[in-house]
């Protein structure tokens, strides 16, 4: 009768396939070991990840997504030094699947690695484990020459949400690489400090729109009163995406003084932006803005129209 | 493989879970956790590793109710409005209260949800009122993560067995009859409780491509849950509320407004203008879509070409990796690029699926059907607008309740003659020397579904459908022929599809009003709250044909103000065909 | 009433040189939700996977899970 059920074979039996002369047989053994989801398979997979054949090594790196803990992370970190790029790629993905903070034990010693690919992967892996010991190396790595490393280091700092790291994050918002600046600005969202706000305000003048967009968006979380004037200035940004986030943040910050500037923006022929403006005018509910809204109560764009009518309802209440 | 063997086995277990896709694995894990001594068996006609609607993953949650972004009250209200008020709120409300816990549990399984740069859930706004969309950047690993948990919990998994009929006795469920999809061997499972998570009826209508398997739903979901519940005597609710979805034409995959929407993409008409009025993914929205297509303003498109390169790249990354990764192949083959062209959309074939509508096997807030000991969850149960998270959450409810149910009962006795009769029915196509292959029975049924059942619904056409279905049934029962066990599985699916088609016609004929926008647009009837503000429950009558009754909508937990009920009707510039 | 033999082009293609079915691999056959793949014995006696039934939802687990990247899922011709 039990033939009907999927097997729960002894791990040592499954592992015998790792001695197969042909790589294909060893790959199959790795897959079966992974499917077992039994931690007893980890030592065998740790051998498979240093197999002579790259296909077996890659499969072992994938197999480790089914496991967690320091032995798993140790094997994966080792695979980051593989000669075959497909093995490194698989190991990098598997590192992001770790959940157990103890898995960080095997990653922490590698946070000063000379190899930028390995270093970036290690930061990426330890980010979600939120190990406070990673903060120092991450701050140090903000000066690494490879931006891929810097961006992951910023990620680690952002997830730790440690106010003492604010100076480092602020430094990172001046990075040469826009993607690092954007990530660093978004990472400031946890802080309500004046320093975070000032840094985000500076971000509104960044030469890259994706950075300005992140600054405008994050001010909804970290902004106080100082950012209101700069956000209002951002309403004239060349990019509608930045304007949209500025409008949204001004709404969330209840900046009624911005209402008469948002009103005329209803004329801009970008439906996504007009829709957001209408919603925010409703949130701010400044009586003088009725004139701007009424004009668009029968707008041809349904989403704009809906938000306008909703806003007019709010204003009437 | 595939050779037909003459053999049968029996198996006893406390809880049999049929369907290893989304709801089933969660039900198994919860039942086992609550009662570690319970013998839980998870059965699937495919392999649990990659079975069900989310075989390849899912790009996000469409209906997450996360504290700080939405409340259970708000969610229940929106779902009630989206379903034209025909909604027992208890199940929706319980889902809304408990789904956040399920999200956290899935997160602990290694299923990732998008987080911001501080590691907090990054919920996106799509709906007008609440905020429910939570992207899943590694949504391609969902099944792998679930499978891992099943193995860790040492759940007994039976792959490649297809359940064909439920067994009942003593007024409750007694088990199920199953057949191996590769050997045609029989398996009779005696169980104290049975949980069904068999997915949508996805092979009901025929896609416009004409390819039988080019369906919106995973084509493996052919509706066995509905047919088995029907033949066992369970009630099925509101089957006339079809599922019809907007999708990429020909590819027939979702257009993913939920992914593109928060990033500025939208559905546009030929002029590139937004036209959808409705805030909710609902029959009303589909009616608007249909009107645009029929009204000379089509084709209808997914419009992303106004977005910046960075944004399009992000949308592409999600859409082409997760859920339906061949979408990238499709666009490459056509030479279409989101940056340059709008992508042609269309409406899907009809189906049953509560993931996006409100029809299905009737269940309460514990996922109990009308038969004691029998549960249903996911796309086949009637909790409206379930989506994937609903399948997980309601699957959990089913598992928890079943674990309690089995404490006090033994196996129900049943009539052994039913097993013999089912065996004869199932094997009949293997006993002939020639005849009609299942794919032709299926094609004809589904072609008739398109011809006569697709909305707008017309009484005379549906009557014709019923007549033609009977002819096909006669052909199927007297002349269907299969050559191997694989074809036998298809033959059983063809039979299920015909059952579902007959139920769709019967349910649509019964409700003599229009409701749920396009889903039940009966051209001869207006919406009629006085007579039809109720569920319709379809069961199998004594004559073997569907019989119907009305069932009251339970008193609301969350009141809906009169002006909210028709919130978006008032926002129109012009009324649609349905509203006229 | 004999059955006709009507040819169809199938969407799932397997590269025999990469396929390790001969080593007992059945990953693609196992993961197909519609169970349309099978293992064939080639003229030289070795084994390879192939698509036996044209019933494909082009969902991709066979391609994604193949350990040697031997499987390619094309769109079925009728809808491509």
Give the pLDDT confidence score for residue A68 in this predicted structure: 96
Chain B: closest CA distance from residue C58 (Å): 7
pLDDT of residue B565: 67
pLDDT tens-digit map of A96-152: 999 999 999 999 999 999 999 999 999 999 999 999 999 999 999 999 999 999 999
Give the chain A residue whose CA is nearest to the CA of C18.
A24
CATH architecture entry for B1-52+141-244+348-580: 3-Layer(bba) Sandwich (3.50)
- Residue B264 is predicted with a pLDDT of 86
pTM of the full structure: 0.95
Measured between CA atoms, the residue of chain A closest to residue B107 is A99
Which residues on C lie below 8 Å from B210 (Cβ)?
78
Q: Which chains touch C (3 or more CB pairs under 8 A)?
A: A, B
List per-residue pLDDT tens for chain B, 580 residues long: 789 988 899 999 999 999 999 999 999 999 999 999 999 999 999 999 999 999 988 888 889 999 988 999 999 998 999 899 999 999 999 999 999 999 999 999 988 888 999 999 988 765 556 688 888 877 888 999 999 999 999 999 999 999 999 999 999 999 999 999 999 999 999 999 999 999 999 999 999 999 999 999 999 999 999 999 999 999 999 999 999 999 999 999 887 777 788 888 899 999 999 888 776 778 988 999 999 999 999 899 999 999 989 889 888 877 777 767 888 889 988 998 889 999 999 999 999 999 888 899 999 999 999 999 999 999 999 999 989 999 999 999 999 999 999 999 999 999 999 999 999 999 999 999 999 999 999 999 999 999 999 999 999 999 999 999 999 999 999 999 999 999 999 999 999 999 999 999 999 999 999 999 999 999 999 999 999 999 999 999 999 999 999 999 999 999 988 767 655 454 444 443 333 3
Q: Which of A96, A210, A300 sits opposite B310 (nearest CB)?
A: A210
Mapping DSSP onto H, E and C, the string for chain A reads CHHHCCCCCCHHHHHHHHHCCCHHHHHHHHHHHHHHCCHHHHHHHHHHCCCCCHHHHHHHHHHHHHCCCHHHHHHHHHHCCCCCHHHHHHHHHHHHCCCCHHHHHHCHHHCCCCCHHHHHHHHHHHHCCCCHHHHHHHHHHCCCCCHHHHHHHHHHHHHHCCHHHHHHHHHHCCCCCHHHHHHHHHHHHHCCCHHHHHHHHHHCCCCCHHHHHHHHHHHHHHCCCCCHHHHHHHCCCCCHHHHHHHHHHHHHCCCHHHHHHHHHHHHCCCHHHHHHHHHHHHHHCCHHHHHHHHCCCCCCCHHHHHHHHHHHHHHHC
Show which residues on chain C lie within 8 Å of chain A, measured between beta carbons.
20, 22-25, 27, 67-68
Please choose, from the candidates B194, B164, B170, the residue with its C-alpha nearest in 3D space to the C-alpha of residue B17.
B194
Share above pLDDT 70 across residues of chain A, in percent, rounded to a whole number: 99
Residue of B nearest to A305 (CA): B571
> A with C: how many residue pairs have Cβ under 8 Å apart?
27
Pick the CATH number of B246-343 from 3.90.1150.10, 3.50.50.60, 3.90.700.10, 3.40.250.10: 3.90.700.10
Q: Is the CB of A59 less than 8 angstroms away from the CB of C67?
A: yes
Q: Indicate if the alpha-carbon torsion angle A97, A102, A108, A109 is positive or negative.
A: negative
Check residue B567 and give its pLDDT.
53
The verdict on a CB contact (< 8 Å) between B250 and C57 is no
Q: Do A28 and C24 touch (CB under 8 A)?
A: yes
What pLDDT, on a 0 to 100 scale, did the predictor assign at position B128? 55
Ranges of each domain in chain C: 12-73
Delimit the domains of chain B by residue range. 1-52+141-244+348-580, 246-343
ipTM over 0.85: yes
Out of B1, B207, B213, closest to residue C34 by CB: B213
Residue bearing the bigger pLDDT, B281 or A244? A244
In chain C, which among 48-67 make CB contacts under 8 A with chain B?
52-53, 55-61, 64-65
Say yes or no for a CB contact (<8 Å) between A55 and C24. no
Give the model confidence (pLDDT) of A247-301 as tens digits: 999 999 999 999 999 999 999 989 889 999 999 999 999 999 999 999 998 888 8
Interface of B with A in 181-210 (CB under 8 A): 187
- Pick the residue of B81, B110, B117 with the most A CBs within 10 A to test the interface with A by mutation: B117
State the pLDDT at residue A86: 96
The CATH number assigned to the domain with range C12-73 reads 3.30.70
**Dihedral over Cα of B12, B14, B19, B21: its sign:** negative
Cβ of A27 within 8 Å of Cβ of C67? The answer is yes
B-contacting chains (≥3 CB pairs under 8 Å): A, C
Report yes or no: A25 at the C interface, CB cutoff 8 Å.
yes
Closest chain C CA to residue A61: C67
Structural domains of chain A in order of their starting residue, each with its CATH number: 1-106 (1.25.10.10)
Q: In this complex, is the C-beta atom of A249 within 8 Å of any C-beta atom belonging to chain C?
A: no
Phi, psi of B566 (to 5 degrees): -115, 35
Closest CA to A63 of A48, A83, A80: A48
B513 backbone dihedrals φ, ψ, rounded to 5°: -155, 170
Please classify residue A145 by burial: count the beta carbons closer than 10 Å to its beta carbon, then call 0-12 exposed, 13-18 middle and 19+ buried: exposed
Task: Tell if the CB–CB gap between A187 and B151 is shorter than 8 Å.
Answer: no
């Amino acid at each position: 009768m039990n033939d009907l059920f999927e097997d729960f074979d002894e791990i040592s039996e499954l592992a015998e396939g790792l001695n197969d002369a042909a790589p294909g047989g060893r790959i199959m053994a790795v897959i079966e070991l992974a499917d077992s989801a039994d931690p007893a398979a980890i030592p065998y997979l740790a051998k498979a990840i240093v197999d002579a054949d790259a296909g077996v090594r890659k499969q072992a790196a994938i197999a480790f997504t089914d496991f967690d803990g320091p032995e798993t992370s140790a094997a994966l970190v080792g695979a980051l030094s593989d000669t075959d790029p497909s093995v490194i790629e698989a190991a990098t993905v598997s590192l992001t699947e770790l959940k157990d903070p103890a898995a960080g034990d095997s990653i922490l010693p590698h946070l000063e690695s000379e190899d930028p690919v390995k270093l970036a992967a290690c930061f990426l892996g330890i980010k979600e484990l939120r190990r406070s010991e990673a903060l120092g190396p991450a701050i140090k790595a903000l000066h690494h020459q490879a931006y891929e490393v810097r961006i992951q280091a910023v990620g680690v700092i952002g997830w730790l949400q440690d106010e003492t790291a604010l100076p480092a994050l602020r430094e990172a918002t001046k990075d040469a690489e826009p993607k690092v600046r954007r990530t660093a600005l978004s990472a400031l969202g946890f802080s309500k400090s004046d320093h975070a706000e000032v840094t985000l305000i500076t971000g509104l003048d960044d030469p890259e729109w994706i950075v300005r967009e992140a600054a405008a968006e994050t001010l909804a979380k970290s902004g106080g009163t100082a950012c209101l004037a700069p956000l209002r200035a951002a309403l004239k940004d060349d990019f509608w995406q930045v304007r949209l986030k500025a409008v949204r943040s001004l709404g969330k910050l209840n900046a009624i003084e911005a209402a008469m500037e948002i009103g005329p923006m209803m004329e801009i022929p970008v439906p996504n932006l007009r829709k957001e403006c209408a919603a925010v005018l409703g949130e701010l509910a400044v009586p003088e803005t009725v004139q701007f809204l009424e004009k668009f109560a029968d707008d041809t764009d349904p989403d704009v129209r809906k938000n306008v009518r909703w806003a007019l309802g709010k204003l009437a209440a | 493989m595939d050779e037909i063997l003459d053999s049968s086995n029996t198996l006893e277990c406390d809880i049999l879970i049929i369907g290893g896709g989304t709801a089933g694995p969660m039900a198994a894990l919860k039942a086992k956790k609550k009662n570690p001594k319970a013998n839980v068996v998870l059965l699937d006609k495919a392999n649990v590793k990659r079975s069900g609607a989310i075989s390849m993953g899912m790009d996000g949650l469409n209906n997450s109710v996360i504290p700080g972004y939405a409340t259970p009250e708000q969610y229940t209200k929106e779902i009630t409005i989206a379903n034209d008020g025909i909604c027992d709120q208890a199940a929706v409300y319980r889902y809304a209260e408990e789904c956040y816990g399920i999200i956290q549990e899935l997160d602990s399984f290694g299923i990732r949800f998008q987080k911001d740069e501080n590691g907090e859930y990054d919920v996106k706004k799509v709906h007008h009122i609440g905020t429910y969309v939570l992207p899943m950047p590694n949504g391609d690993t969902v099944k792998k993560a679930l499978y891992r948990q099943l193995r860790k919990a040492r759940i007994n998994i039976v792959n490649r067995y297809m359940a064909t009929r439920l067994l009942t006795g003593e007024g409750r469920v007694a088990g199920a009859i199953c057949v191996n999809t590769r050997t045609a061997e029989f398996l009779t499972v005696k169980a104290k409780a049975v949980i069904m998570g068999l997915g949508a009826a996805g092979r009901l209508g025929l896609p416009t491509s004409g390819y039988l398997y080019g369906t919106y739903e995973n084509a493996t979901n052919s509706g066995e849950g509905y047919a088995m519940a029907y033949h066992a005597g369970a009630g099925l609710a509101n089957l006339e509320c079809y599922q019809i979805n907007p999708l990429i034409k020909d590819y027939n995959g979702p257009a993913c407004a939920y992914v593109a929407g928060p990033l500025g993409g939208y559905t546009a008409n030929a002029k590139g203008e937004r036209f959808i009025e409705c805030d909710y993914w609902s029959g009303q929205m589909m009616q608007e879509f249909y009107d645009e297509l029929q009204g000379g303003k089509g084709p209808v498109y997914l419009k992303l070409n106004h977005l910046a390169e960075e944004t399009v790249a992000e949308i592409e990354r999600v859409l082409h990796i997760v859920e339906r990764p061949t979408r990238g192949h499709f666009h490459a083959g056509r030479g279409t690029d989101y940056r340059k062209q709008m992508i042609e959309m269309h409406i899907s074939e009809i189906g049953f699926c509560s993931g996006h509508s409100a029809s299905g096997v009737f269940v309460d807030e514990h996922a109990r059907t009308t038969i004691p000991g029998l549960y249903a969850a996911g796309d086949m149960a009637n909790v409206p607008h379930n989506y994937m998270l609903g399948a997980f959450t309601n699957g959990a409810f089913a598992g928890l309740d079943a674990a309690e149910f089995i404490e006090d009962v033994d196996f129900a006795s049943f009539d052994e003659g039913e097993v013999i009769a089912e065996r004869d029915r199932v094997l009949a196509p293997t006993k002939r020397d020639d005849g009609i292959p299942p794919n032709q029975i299926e094609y004809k049924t589904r072609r008739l579904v398109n011809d006569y059942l697709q909305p707008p619904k017309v009484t005379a056409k549906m009557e014709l459908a019923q007549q033609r279905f009977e002819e096909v049934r006669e052909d199927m029962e007297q002349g269907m022929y299969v050559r191997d066990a694989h074809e036998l599985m298809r033959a059983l699916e063809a039979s299920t599809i015909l059952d579902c088609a007959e139920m769709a016609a019967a349910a649509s004929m019964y409700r003599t009003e229009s409701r749920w926008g396009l889903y039940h647009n009966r051209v001869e009837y207006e919406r009629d709250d006085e007579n039809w503000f109720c569920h319709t429950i379809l069961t199998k009558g004594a004559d073997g044909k569907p019989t119907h009754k009305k069932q009251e909508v339970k008193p609301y937990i969350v009141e809906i103000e009169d002006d909210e009920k028709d919130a978006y009707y008032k926002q129109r510039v012009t009324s649609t065909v349905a509203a006229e | 009433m004999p059955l006709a033999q009507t040819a169809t082009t199938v969407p799932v293609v397997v590269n025999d040189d990469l396929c390790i079915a001969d080593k007992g691999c059945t990953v693609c056959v196992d993961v197909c939700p519609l169970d349309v793949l099978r293992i064939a014995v080639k003229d030289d006696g070795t084994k390879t996977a192939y698509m036996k039934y044209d019933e494909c939802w082009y969902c991709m687990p066979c391609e994604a899970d193949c350990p040697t990247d031997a499987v390619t899922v094309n769109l079925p011709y009728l809808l491509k």
